[in-house]
Amino acid sequence: MPKNLQDTTTLHNGVKMPWFGLGVFKVKEGSEVVEAVKAAIKNGYISIDTAAIYQNEEGVGQGIKESGVPRDSLFVTSKVWNSDQGYESTLNAFETSLQKLGMDYLDLYLIHWPGKDSAKYKDTWRALEKLYKDGRVRAIGVSNFHVHHLEDLIADAEIKPMVNQVEYHPHLAQLELREYCKKQGIQLEAWSPLKQGQLLSEPTIMAIAEKYQKSPAQIILRWDLQNEVVTIPKSIKEHRIIENADIFDFELSTDDMEKINGLNKNERVGSNPDEFEVGFQ
**SS3 at position 251:** coil
**Do the Cβ atoms of 223 and 170 come closer than 8 Å?**
yes
Closest CA to 214 of 174, 165, 260, 173: 260
Say whether 54 is catalytic: yes
Residue type for 82, please?
N
Taking the CB of residue 183, how many other CB atoms lie within 10 A of it? 8
Query: How many Å from the N-terminal Cα to the C-terminal Cα in the chain?
Result: 43
Q: Can you tell me the distance from the alpha carbon of 94 to that of 105, in angstroms, rounded to the nearest whole number?
A: 10
Q: Which of 54, 132, 168, 180 is the catalytic position?
A: 54
Catalytic residues: 54
